[in-house]
Structure 1
Amino acid sequence: MNGDYLATINHFSNLSVLVIGDAMLDVYMDGSADRICREAPVPIVDIRDVKTVPGGAANTAANLAQLGAKVHYISVVGSDHEAKLLKDALAGHGLDTSLVLSDPVRRTITKQRVTAGNQLLVRFDSGTTEAIHADYERQVIGNLKNNFHRVDAVVVSDYGYGILTDKVIGALGALQHKKESILVIDAKSLDKYSHLRATVAKPNYQELVRLLAITEPAASGKRSEQIRRHGQRLLKKTGTKYVAATLDIEGALLFQHGKEPYRTFSKPVENTKAAGAGDTYVGALTLALASGASIEVAGEIAKSAAVVILQKSGTATCTKSELSHYLGNGSKYTDDWQELKNRIDHLRKEARRIVFTNGCFDLLHSGHVTYLDQARTLGDALVLGLNSDASIKRLKGNNRPINNLSERIRILSGLESVTFMTSFEEDTPISLLEVIQPDLYVKGGDYTVDNLPEAPVVLGYGGKIEIMPFVQDRSTTNIILKIKSLDTQTA
């Protein structure tokens, strides 16, 4: 089946997609909060990093571009500083912004998040959410008519912030009725689009509750069971061929006429860790359907793209190479350091912080898992360097490792904390560090920066080092001794 997925993904670069919807600028201000304000009992955040990325429909467009498609994006923003930042961010993803109109009387929708460490403290929202002026409405409709039937698929991303007016929706309907295209609807109010004969609607659980007038929303873990019963109602209410109902940690239900729903499964993630996974899902789903995939295959590909996003933080995009790698063989491991560097470079283009740690990780235990979880929280991606079998023998003796490298890779691949893995033959990862140059090198144990052999390399290229204590009373050696003790007692 993975071969089908990869063949579909390889076709993405042949496709063009039109996106229309509300553009937003997502701003992430990250710092530390070590003091309390005198004026009020609130933390003082010393900002050390500010990142601006496309949000809303602009994030959907950016994801489509990163997945390999040629994207035409229609929207209206202000003529303010935030609009310039947003257009620059879109251009950074290779997008043409000529169809993003600037209205001097509007303020660009901006969502600013302040975080300290891994904790979101507050979010500020600003910008114009009223319907676009009639002059800009006419221009949007003109751009829509000029491009609708020139592309392989059309995505509507309607957050209810004034771009998709009744007249714009009417124009969409007329174009779709004239010649049906692959039309994907991601909207807070799906009932407004029921007459369009769209291909697929993608409601989240909150949108499903509104659409179905559910008076008693289900608790997390019970939503799939609740929504499954409403499949045919959803298809009728949306007027679409398919409905992709996304249910957060419960995955998604894919409904189609005359068939049982198909379910895909997701993975739990902290609410503050990632944003915009729904936009990524829509982008991948659209391209898969436009490539001729069934709704089941398209749903699995879209789910996989969203999982890639959930490994990151903030509003992010999934690249075609990341998606191909995820679906290629399910492995996070490569023995090619240059390939690893290329993967890391892709993340760096999105200003991701790369954390690296290394070790034997022979018999995986709770101390290892806790250590890797903690290391991951220090950045956006965790790269794990594994000592080779020969390296472990030199360090630990001829009776080690207990698990060979391939077994260790297979076990560690199941950890959510680990993004990529590689291995090294030397006693230390110095040569590997020189190639991949992570932003932060994390080491566990009783080391100090002064006696750490890798320190000169890391500090030399401008990286940082953090020493983290191992979990007490947890070690592979102790586990081996305990097993031997039990064997002795039963002998």
Structure 2
Amino acid sequence: MSGDLLGLLAAVRGLRVVVVGDAIVDRYLTGVPVGMCREAPVPVLDLIGEHDQCGGAANVAANLRSLGAEPRLLAVVGSDAAGHQLCAAMAAAGVDTAHLVTDESRATVVKRRVLTQQQMLLRLDEGSKEPIGTAAAAELAARLADQLLRCDLVIACDYGYGTFIEPVTTPLARSTRRPLLAVDSRTPTAFRPLRPAVVKPNYAEAVALLGEPQLASPGERVRQILDHEALLLERSGAELVAVTLDRDGAVVLQAGRPSVRTYAAGREAETTVGAGDTFTAAIALALAAGADPASAAEFASAAAGTVVHKPGTANCDPAELRRRLAGTGTILPSGELPAWLTDVAGRGCRVVFTNGCFDILHGGHVSLLSRAKALGELLVVGVNTDGSVRRLKGPSRPVIPLAERMRVLAALGCVDVVVPFGADSPTELIERLRPDVYVKGDDYTVADLPEAPLVERLGGRVELLSTVDGRSTTTIIRDIHALSADRRTVPDRKGV
């Protein structure tokens, strides 16, 4: 599974995505408590910081950009200071502002959150909530109709601020080319006629759709969603319903297939603000890239897990996501490298490669591997097959068979991919992988390495890392033999 998910991270890069909906400014006011107010029993804060971040549909677009997609945000904003601040936040996140529609009659939506010591004290909301005007709706609909002809995915983000009136949804219903449609809406039934591929309500929105009460226990909430699977699918009109449960992960439902439950990371969340936007962006991208629902859900949960431990409205960090998706390393027992890994231009990460027999893994190996990982983002380890080890080390080796050597290596947190090779040198692997960095221990020299000229010719570089003195499999085997010999000279003292 982790190999598929790492491949998915590469597959979503470059997808063209239209995000249409309510763009919001998330403003954070941070203060230090200095006492209690004399006029009322409320705290007094000294303001020490204020910053703006992309919120709502703008946050979905920012997460798409961080995941390597090419988002186009279609939204109506006011010709006001908040509108300019939203554009600045979008530019900082790498999201193009050229597709925004300005309406001088509207006030851009701003959500102000007041925090102290990482705790939110209150939220103040302002901005237009009424339906967008006729002229703005016509302009937004025209831009949407145009973008539908050239995108891979559409994400509709409806937070109840008046974007989705009939002229705006009409292009989605009538377009001759309708790419995959994902919907994140407080009222999913409004999009039912469009038959979206996926809708992503949170738990509160899902039970509102069902007309059911909200429950407190995580187990009860999951059971409640599963018990109403058919009704959720019918009322949303979607092929797939992904219900997010904040700190309790998500449940993904699809007609005729088993439900999928994902779990949030074990650490306590800093905040869940914006995590739903990250989940929406990631699951929609994964499905558009051809992932099955289970893989898409795991991918989205891992992406959301990268933001809940950060303050404010954070975006998914692809390097952290890559680490989460790798988990334990992926074993490629056939020796075949997947296409996403050999696509140098499209893999989107710095690949480090090293190789060895790794027969009886020891501290020297672990030290070198962890330092090798620090030179890039993805560490691929080539492992000599049993026959190759015998040719290099002698008929008594390996002590540990290939399958076990690869399994132990894959369990190291720094190792992402483990692949065997049967030749005495990994030159064929290097030819296919084209690593950015090739790592060996400093018991070699560059002149001694037959692979060095190949790596450099392919555009990579060779790094020789210091080894741990006195640590080698050969010395460990020698010490074990010595210990065994010593024990044979000690008399058996049983019964003395």
2:258 alignment partner, SS class: coil
- TM normalised by structure 2 equals 0.65
Q: Where do 1:332-347 residues align within 5 Å?
A: 335-336=370-371, 339=374
Q: Give how far 1:29 is off.
A: 1.1
Q: 1:42 to 1:330 in 2, by over 3 A?
A: farther
Q: 1:41 to 1:216 in 2, by over 3 A?
A: closer
Deviation string, structure 1 residues 343-389 (Cα, Å, up to 9, x no partner): 9xxxxxxxxxxxxxxxxxxxxxxxxxxxxxxxxxxxxxxxxxxxxxx
Deviation string, structure 1 residues 91-147 (Cα, Å, up to 9, x no partner): 111111111112111111001111111221121111111110000000010000000
Q: 1:158 to 1:216 in 2, by over 3 A?
A: closer
Paired position in structure 2 for 1:326:
324
| Aligned-partner Cα distance in 2 for 1:22–1:82 | 14
Q: 1:252 to 1:95 in 2, by over 3 A?
A: same
Paired position in structure 1 for 2:87:
87
Paired position in structure 2 for 1:109:
109
Contact 1:274 1:312 in 2 (8 A): no
Q: Which has the larger radius of gyration?
A: 2
1:221 alignment partner, SS class: helix
Equivalences, count: 344
1:132 alignment partner, SS class: coil
Q: Which amino acid aligns with 1:147?
A: Q
Q: Give how far 1:220 is off.
A: 3.7
Stretch moving more, 271-280 or 230-239: 271-280
Paired position in structure 1 for 2:207:
209
Paired position in structure 2 for 1:234:
232
Contact 2:118 2:311 in 1 (8 A): no
Contact 1:6 1:327 in 2 (8 A): yes
Contact 1:218 1:226 in 2 (8 A): no
Q: Give how far 1:155 is off.
A: 0.2
Paired position in structure 2 for 1:474:
none
Paired position in structure 2 for 1:75:
75
Contact 1:112 1:123 in 2 (8 A): yes
| Aligned-partner Cα distance in 1 for 2:375–2:204 | 39
2:124 alignment partner, SS class: strand
Contact 1:77 1:83 in 2 (8 A): yes
| Aligned-partner Cα distance in 1 for 2:204–2:79 | 33
Contact 1:159 1:187 in 2 (8 A): yes
Deviation string, structure 1 residues 425-446 (Cα, Å, up to 9, x no partner): xxxxxxxxxxxxxxxxxxxxxx
| Aligned-partner Cα distance in 2 for 1:325–1:59 | 22
Q: Which amino acid aligns with 2:39?
A: E
1:30 alignment partner, SS class: strand
Paired position in structure 1 for 2:25:
25
- Structure 1: unaligned runs, 5 residues or longer: 344-405, 411-491
2:306 is the counterpart of 1:308: yes
Paired position in structure 2 for 1:400:
none
Q: Which amino acid aligns with 1:213?
A: G
| Aligned-partner Cα distance in 2 for 1:25–1:338 | 38
2:243 is the counterpart of 1:263: no
Q: Where do 1:129-144 residues align within 5 Å?
A: 129-144=129-144
Paired position in structure 2 for 1:169:
169
2:256 alignment partner, SS class: coil
Paired position in structure 1 for 2:182:
184
Q: 1:278 to 1:340 in 2, by over 3 A?
A: farther
Contact 2:306 2:317 in 1 (8 A): no
1:55 alignment partner, SS class: strand
Q: Give how far 1:328 is off.
A: 2.0
| Aligned-partner Cα distance in 2 for 1:78–1:248 | 31
Paired position in structure 2 for 1:53:
53
| Aligned-partner Cα distance in 2 for 1:212–1:268 | 30
Contact 2:65 2:93 in 1 (8 A): yes
Deviation string, structure 1 residues 173-202 (Cα, Å, up to 9, x no partner): 222xx3342110100001011111211111
Identical residues among aligned pairs (%): 37
2:224 alignment partner, SS class: helix
Q: 1:173 to 1:300 in 2, by over 3 A?
A: same
Q: Where do 1:271-420 residues align within 5 Å?
A: 273-329=271-327, 335-336=370-371, 339=374
Q: Which amino acid aligns with 2:107?
A: R
| Aligned-partner Cα distance in 2 for 1:14–1:271 | 30
Q: Which amino acid aligns with 1:276?
A: G
Deviation string, structure 1 residues 27-78 (Cα, Å, up to 9, x no partner): 1111210222333332221111212100011100100011100110000111
| Aligned-partner Cα distance in 2 for 1:267–1:260 | 23
Q: Which amino acid aligns with 2:254?
A: Q
| Aligned-partner Cα distance in 2 for 1:219–1:264 | 16
1:314 alignment partner, SS class: coil
| Aligned-partner Cα distance in 1 for 2:193–2:262 | 28
Contact 2:270 2:309 in 1 (8 A): no
Q: 1:244 to 1:274 in 2, by over 3 A?
A: closer
Q: Give how far 1:80 is off.
A: 1.0
Contact 2:247 2:269 in 1 (8 A): no
Q: Give how far 1:335 is off.
A: 4.4
| Aligned-partner Cα distance in 2 for 1:171–1:37 | 53
| Aligned-partner Cα distance in 2 for 1:324–1:110 | 33
Q: Where do 1:26-41 residues align within 5 Å?
A: 26-41=26-41
Contact 1:119 1:272 in 2 (8 A): no
| Aligned-partner Cα distance in 2 for 1:43–1:293 | 49
- TM normalised by structure 1 equals 0.66
Q: Which amino acid aligns with 2:42?
A: V
Q: Give how far 1:166 is off.
A: 2.5
Contact 2:6 2:325 in 1 (8 A): yes
Contact 1:120 1:272 in 2 (8 A): no
